[in-house]
Structure 1
Amino acid sequence: MADTRLPLLRGRITTVDTYEAPQGGGGVPPAMPSLDPKAHRTTLLQQLDAITQQVKARAEIARDELAKREIVAVRPAPNAQLAPDQLDDSRADARLVGVMPDSGTVVLDVANADLEYLRKKLDAFADDAKVKTRTAKDGTVTTQRGNERAIAPVGSIGLAELEDLGGAQLRAEALPADGPCWFEIGCRGGYRNPAEDTNNSRAQIARQIHRLGASQKLDEFLGPEQLYFFVRLTRAQLDELRKATDCIYEVELAPQPLRDLKLLDDLSTKDVADFALEQPHENAPSVVVLDTGIATGHPLLKSAILTATTAGPEIPSPEDTYGHGTKMAGLALYRDVGAAVERGSADATHWLQSSRLLIAPGYGTAADENYEKWPVLTERAVRSAEDADPRPRNRAFVLAVTRSMQDPPLDGIAPTLWSQAVDQLAFRGGYGRLMIVSAGNARDAQWLALAEQHPQLQLSEKIHQPAQASNALTVGAFTARVELPNDKDYAEARVVATKPGGISPYTSTGLVGNEWPIKPDVVIEGGNLAIFGTLTDSTVPTLSALTTSHRHTHGSPIGLMSMTSEASARAARLAAHIWSLEPKLRPETVRGLIVHSASWTKAMVGDFPGLNDRLQACGYGVPSERLASECAQGVATIVVEDSMPNAVIEEEPKKTPPKRATTKTTERKVRRKVKLYRLPLPESLLSDADPDVELRVTLSYFTEPNKFGRRTYNGLDLKWDMQGPQESADAFIQRINALKRPTGADGKRLKIEKAKSFDWDVGIERRSRGTVQSDRWRGKMSALVGDKLIAIVPVLGWWDQRKALKWQDMKFSLVVSVFGPGVYAAIKSKVEVEATIPVEV
């Protein structure tokens, strides 16, 4: 049979231009406190002198032999906001650590306790000869003192205390006076910093823990700019540890114990010993299941198992003795396990890899006392799968082991080291890795209550960590399974989700607030729940999925699975399917295509008429396998893969020409870039009927995370915007790029009349919160034709504060689909031609 599939179209960025954000990058600067400059200088100098005296008065044996530096806290004055970029100095080896979110305190890591560079800033601030006066056209006179932004907002300066470095939970929690607690401490080091920093911190912490008599195996996690340890100490011991070392940047309570996973009972079925599974080709993609291992001898799986490894020596074997991983593997390999069993054979289109992350919930590495290992174990599980198969291969990693964030003290706290680990793994040094994480299941103790108010009460069940990771493809669950078996045993039962296409009663939902990305990203089939009076049953065959069981050697090769584990396994299979058809796509593109292809069902729109509630419960909706992997006669999907620099250096003419002919006429300037794609939609598509069309645009990228003070900061963010139906190309460019706006006689940019983009379903503010940003519009063909521009612009993050990283590039993928009569034929030739034209710079 001939292959009738129409492959995805591959486009290219049309134009690259210099860019400046219209808002100037930061809005109105914070107001400076009104104070006496000389008195302010005197007060702060006394505090700097006190730091020097404290350090000199320290006994020689008070600190670790490797502790040579100081951690300093610069605290803001009341109602003032510090300028952290003004408080460090690379020449003086004074490093900015970060800003504590709740207090606004700036933490510095300094080599010299005298802080001579700050003393010079204080002198300049108090020097009346260095005051600059400006008079505006309206006669308003403003003055600015030397180093005013750095010094005026400072309330106090001192050696950092535990209160300065402690997170919100540590400050809020009433800890036992002498009882040990698990703490998470962030130290100098990280993979972005010299290895000696990491080794120095590791040696200090290990030695001082031993000195305190609290010897324990130190589990650690390596972030980009910090090394994290999990330690069990009393509060007094923790403060002693801080005083004895010079490397502790932040301290917080470690999260609460891992909640148990609830799994379904196995279901026996026919013997499949003679099942024939044809192997995939050697370069086929793989799904890597990070779970309880895999039954390597299972007849429905063994021919497709490429590797089976463990996350580390704590786990004795890759064999699944619990069952969850084997059930995940069956759904990750097969679209329909039952149909394959009936046929007695199947052709595998992709490989399976298993990396055993835990033996069983609550046991071994998953035990409460080992929670601190989860970020490290997840990273090791990923790397062990890659090391076992060194061939370059497209891999979709799927993690359905999650942990509730609704048990105190994690209620409302989103970023954790586990979520940062997932974000780092996905970023992969800029190369990208597809990490698929289940949103987590609703708490089983709440099932009856949820059943009575389904689906609205589902909004109270919040996603689990690490599913809040921005770079992850987070998968929730919906269900089309609403029929109970026609059996007298179920005569008194009822299903919770009664409408096909509604969200599953098992699923958890996104976090509330403007700072969080849209999560879950998508929802996939995850089954339904049955209620018998006051009893719940999650094992009803018609409400669950048939899958493989680890008990195949005991005569039970088939079992049941549902919940968000099923949904995430199916998402991994979808990713592998896309790669099997389009093997050259980047990981961020595959994630983008899955989100791009998603739509809300009628039940979702009816159950959640409010957009915010619908996004929290359903994300972007249910993905379409066909739309995610191919075009059709009435659908054209264009994929653009490119990269964005954080900043570039450009030579620009000097404002004032030099007087000497030998002097350079140009100067070096730091500039940003905007990248534009011109969607080729010709006027020939217009007809008297002016047909209805749909437009979808999705931007996907993996950003580098950096956690500090219980917040995760991104190295660089991006966002997109599109030329509106009534907007000219020049007006659009001026709207998004301040450098392109006209200037008056005085050289200042003039105000412009702003047009608007399309009337999007989600809107730019909501969609721009995450690293996959998708939106849809429906209207008439006449509003869309005319080769509209789509802009991708940088939103600066922590890379911009690090000189060594300021020039980093980050990959991104843009996916655009147009639905309408004749669009594929009209767009295809134009896209292919434009892909050969040099990019306009």
Structure 2
Amino acid sequence: MGADPDTRTVLLDAPGPDLPQLRQKIEEFGDDTVVNTRIRDGKTLTSRANEAAIAPIREIALATIADRRGAASPDVPLDPSRAMWFEIGCRGGYRRPQLDTERSREQVRRQLVKLGLSPRFEEFSGPEQVYFFVRATLEQTEALINATDCVYECFLAPPDVRDWLMLEEPPIQEIRAFDLRPPAEEAPSVVVLDTGIATTHPLLRGAIRSAGSAVPGLDSPEDVYGHGTKMAGIALHSDVGAVVEAGSATASHWLQSVRILMAPGQGTASEENRHMWPRITEDAIKLAEEVDSFPRRRAFALAVTRPLEPVEPTLWSHALDQLAYGEGRGRLLCVSAGNARDHRWLELAKDYPQLHLTEKIQDPAQAANVLTVGAYTSKTSIPPAPDYEEGRPIAPKGGISPYTTTGPQGSPWPIKPDVVLEGGNLLLAGKLPDNNVATLVTLTTGHRLLFNRPLSTIAMTSEATAHAARMAAAIWAVEPSLRPETVRGLIVHSASWTSTMMQQFRSLDDRLAACGYGVPDLAFARDCARDRATVIVEDEIPNALKEEVPKKKPPKRASTKLTEPKLVRKMKVFRLPVPDDIAGHTGTDVELRVTLSYFPEPNKFHRKVYHGLDLKWDMQGPQESEGEFLQRINELMRPMDDEGKRRKTSDTKSFPWKIGPQKRSRGTVQSDRWEGRAVYLAEPKLIAVYPVLGWWEQRKQLRECSMRFSLIVSITGPNIYSPIAAALAVQAVEV
């Protein structure tokens, strides 16, 4: 039936216990008189009968359960007493006699009844095996295998199939008895701003820190629509199906919920109440902070959006920019990019993915200071059921989700969305799109627990936003001292485009508009916060500093002061001390990533948003001295010529970045990367952060205000970490 190359075990389906053909071949092999003679290259070669087939055999034995049972998923501990969904492959299939399938089905059904289990199960027919999906304990599954002669293999059902089956037949009693242990008191929290939350849900209850409502006249936090509860499940658990099967979990962070609407398009969410949305959002954020006075880190998740044509700043996006600025302290707001309009799904599917560039991000996702989250998908499998045989998923694995929207291109818009995360796929069956195929969406918590529907599904950019907020909380769980702008920077810093995205959008501008900086890697981001070869600088920079400078004209009186106060611009320059011995890795390919993240104070006028202070960064190039770099970025450090004008003495450049300074510098999170030989990074390199004046400069009382920023630099490559880690430090350079 098959061979396992790891164990070198071959599984045979024997018609009976006597094995007459195999016995005959073994006897012939053992008979010294039965030999084969052949001549090759003039030489006479002899071999025993059946030598190629029989000689390699070390042992013949009846197949055990271990021979047929596949490895368990590493995320699901195999508790022998807990029921889980198993995939059992049996004799049968559409290329074998129908009688084989019927006999296997009857054997499995009969044993399930004997074990006290429901005989109802799903099945899928392959060419030479028929697969049954059975919910049982490990002990029951082993008993079923022992009592039948038709089982070839047994695995835990794949997560997407498991979730489909769990949705079809939810384990009500197990969910009601679920044990969710709360996180540590000081743990971070994810604040879901949506339709509320089902406060009694067993998968959520133990981690709910607070639940409230910012809807005027409606104090109840309970979710009657369901969307907020769906987001909460993803915001808390990375795999809802896995924790349901495990039966218990310890939350890594808290949940907070603030209700900001009852249902889409109703009440405060209606178009006529659009003027209330900025205030309700502000009230909701402040309510979450006031009701839980502990000074914890919070990631806010907002997936409520409104189509906006053309994309432009609004009072709502302006309010989010102000809230993220947070009077200089910063807040991390994860905001959904918004979903493609459902009446265009079929049209978008026919010209996927290029037509998605016409579906633009929605209000308030255009806010510069928020982490705008679009959607991609890794889900392409369809349920093993006849109903889906004619359908096909629209997006390939690693491509943008059919539901996502894309950002505006060109100045003055920053790169939006910032990142993309899992948002599900769409099935096209004939001429009809199906957005509710269980294996193409994600299992999550549902609000209808009283109706025995504790599980539901979620997809689109709402799901992606919940993933992003959970990722932020996971980073804070590793390093709680990080600033909000740093965590936003780490999420973007860890993101990369998939190979599919590179193929879908050959144009860099199109790729940035559809995918942002790509898919974040939580492991990469957490390693950056802890033990990757990474520098994280959390600092602040002033708009200007008042210094005493010589007067342009010397005073006539000797007693008059020779200097006068003047506002002087300052930049900050850091030295990344890459050790010289990295040059020994001449042929080694490395990747250099640099990310700058900050929250400027916004000001809105004439449908434009102005920042109190903006920043840019630049880095010393591989063939550039420190002096040449400083002259390139700072005109005041250039020597004067005979005409009194400052001129550069050389024409040097930085690294050939993938995105480039012009495109990356439009946003308040600016990330770029370079790939090349390690030798080009040898010797310390300077990185500069410098101010770009904004509206603070026009207000006398604000000219000396300072703004916080975070700078993240990583170098990755084989055998690179050790020499860098030994010397890794950051030193400020006086400029």
TM-score, structure 1 length as denominator? 0.66
Matches within 5 A, 1:710-729: 710-729=607-626
The answer to whether residue 643 in structure 2 is matched with residue 740 in structure 1 is no
1: CA distance between counterparts of 2:297 and 2:315? 26
After superposition, residues 547-562 of structure 1 pair within 5 angstroms as 547-562=444-459
Query: What are the equivalent positions in structure 2 for 1:88-99 lying under 5 Å apart?
Result: none
Distance 1:764 1:810 in 2: 21
Q: 1-side partners of 2:618 and 2:367: how far apart?
A: 24
Letter of the 1:310 counterpart: S
> 1:760, CA displacement in angstroms?
0.5
Shift in Å, 1:822? 3.3
Pick aligned residue for 1:487 from 364, 378, 385: 385
Aligned position for 2:118: none
Kindly indicate whether the alpha-carbon contact (under 8 Å) linking 1:743 and 1:749 is maintained by their aligned counterparts in 2.
yes
Corresponding position of 1:520 = 417
Tell whether the 8 Å contact from 1:437 to 1:568 is kept in structure 2 after alignment: yes
* Structure 1 residues 280-679: aligned runs within 5 Å: 280-405=183-308, 411-497=309-395, 499-631=396-528, 635-679=532-576
Work out whether residues 478 and 529 of structure 2, in 8 Å CA contact, stay in contact via their aligned partners in 1. Answer: no
One of 695, 698, 703 as aligned partner of 1:806:
703
State whether residues 194 and 260 of structure 2, in contact with CA within 8 Å, keep that contact through their aligned partners in structure 1.
yes
Count of aligned pairs: 568
Q: Which residue of 2 aligns with 1:269?
A: 170
Q: Following the alignment from structure 2 to structure 1, what is the Cα–Cα distance between the partners of residues 648 and 620?
A: 19
Q: What's 2:72 paired with?
A: none
The within-5 A match list for 1:141-290 is 269-271=170-172, 272-290=175-193
- Runs of 4+ aligned structure 1 residues displaced above 4 Å come to 631-635
Q: Residue in 2 aligned with 1:139?
A: none
1:818 deviates by 0.3
Looking at structure 1, the residues matched to 171 and 368 of structure 2 have their Cα atoms a distance apart, in angstroms, of 43
Q: Distance in 1 between matches of 2:530 and 2:715?
A: 11
Q: 1:413 to 1:503 in 2, by over 3 A?
A: closer
Deviation string, structure 1 residues 785-805 (Cα, Å, up to 9, x no partner): 111111101011111111111
Shift of 1:821: 2.9
Residue 633 of structure 1 contacts residue 823 of structure 1 at CA under 8 Å; is this kept in 2?
A: no
Measured against aligned partners, the alpha-carbon deviations of 1:429-484 in whole angstroms (never above 9, x if no partner) come to 00000000010000100100111111111111100110000000000000010111
Whether the 8 Å CA contact 2:442–2:459 is kept in 1: the answer is yes
Counterpart check, 1:681 vs 2:584: no
Q: CA deviation at 1:414?
A: 1.3
Cα offsets for 1:317-372 (capped at 9, x unmatched): 11000000000000000010000000000110100000001011111111222111
Higher mean Cα deviation, 501-510 or 360-369?
A: 360-369
Q: Percent identity?
A: 59
Residue pair 2:535, 2:714 contacting (<8 A) in 1 also: yes
Query: Contact conserved, 1:315 with 1:356, CA < 8 A, in 2?
Result: no
- AA partner of residue 368 (structure 2): S
Whether the 8 Å CA contact 2:586–2:679 is kept in 1: the answer is: no
Please state if 1:776 is matched with 2:677: no
**1:484-528 CA distances to partner (integer Å, 9 max, x unpaired)?**
11110101211111x210000000000122210000000001000
Q: Distance in 2 between matches of 1:368 and 1:512?
A: 27
Offset at 1:820? 1.9
Give the direction of change, closer, same or farther, for the CA distance of 1:648–1:738 in structure 2 (3 Å limit): same
Aligned to 1:79: none
Separation in 2, partners of 1:689, 1:743: 39
Q: Is the 8 A contact 2:631 2:648 kept in 1?
A: no
* Pairing 1:52-131 to 2, within 5 Å after superposition: none
Conservation of the 8 A alpha-carbon contact between 1:635 and 1:823: no
Aligned residue identity for 1:327: K
- In the TM superposition, what is the alpha-carbon distance from 1:412 to its structure 2 partner? 2.0
Paired residue secondary structure (2:570): strand
Which residues of structure 2 form unaligned runs of 5+?
1-166
Q: Give how far 1:659 is off.
A: 4.4
Distance change in 2, residues 1:623/1:277 (3 Å): same
Counterpart contact for 1:634–1:824, Cα < 8 Å = no
CA–CA distance in structure 1, aligned partners of residues 580 and 416 of structure 2? 38
Please give the alpha-carbon distance, in whole angstroms, between the structure 2 residues aligned to 1:753 and 1:521.
Answer: 36
Q: Residue in 1 aligned with 2:111? A: none
- Give SS of 2:366's match: coil
Q: Which residue identity does 1:718 align to in structure 2? A: L
1:823 to partner: Cα distance: 2.9
- The 3 A distance-change label for structure 1 pair 710 and 631 is closer
SS at match of 1:673: coil
TM-score between both structures, scaled by the size of structure 2: 0.75
Alpha-carbon distance between aligned partners in 2 of 1:739 and 1:636, rounded to the nearest angstrom: 34
Matched residue SS, 2:463: helix
What's the counterpart of residue 694 of structure 2? 797
Deviations 1:812-836 (A, max 9, x none): 000000012333222233235x56x
Question: Given that residues 478 and 530 in structure 2 are in contact (C-alpha distance below 8 angstroms), is that contact kept between their aligned partners in structure 1?
Answer: no
Q: Is the 8 A contact 2:212 2:219 kept in 1?
A: no
The CA deviation string for residues 202-221 of structure 1, in whole angstroms up to 9 with x for no partner, is xxxxxxxxxxxxxxxxxxxx
Q: Aligned partners of 1:688 and 1:697: how far apart in 2?
A: 21
**Which one has the largest radius of gyration?**
2
Q: Is the 8 A contact 2:620 2:629 kept in 1?
A: yes
CA distance in 2, matches of 1:703, 1:501: 33
**In 1, distance between residues paired with 2:436 and 2:410?**
35
| CA deviation vs aligned residue, 1:396-436 (integer Å, no higher than 9, x gap) | 0010000111xxxxx22310001001101000000000000
Q: Once the 2 structures are TM-superposed, how far is the Cα of residue 661 of structure 1 from its aligned partner?
A: 3.1
Equivalent position amino acid for 2:652 in 1 = A
Gaps of 5+ in 1: 1-265, 406-410
Q: State how far apart, in whole Å, the 2-side matches of 1:660 and 1:831 are.
A: 54
RMSD between superposed Cα atoms in Å? 1.7
3-state DSSP of counterpart to 1:542: helix
Measured at CA, do residues 342 and 611 of structure 1 come closer, stay the same or move farther in structure 2, by a change above 3 Å? same
Q: Structure 1: how far apart are the matches of 2:474 and 2:661?
A: 30
Residues in 2 aligned to 1:752 and 1:315: alpha-carbon distance in whole angstroms: 68
Counterpart Cα distance in 2 of 1:760 and 1:806? 33
**Structure 1 pair 739–689 and aligned structure 2 pair: CA distance change class (3 A):** closer
Q: Is the CA contact (8 Å cut-off) linking 2:534 and 2:713 kept in structure 1? A: yes
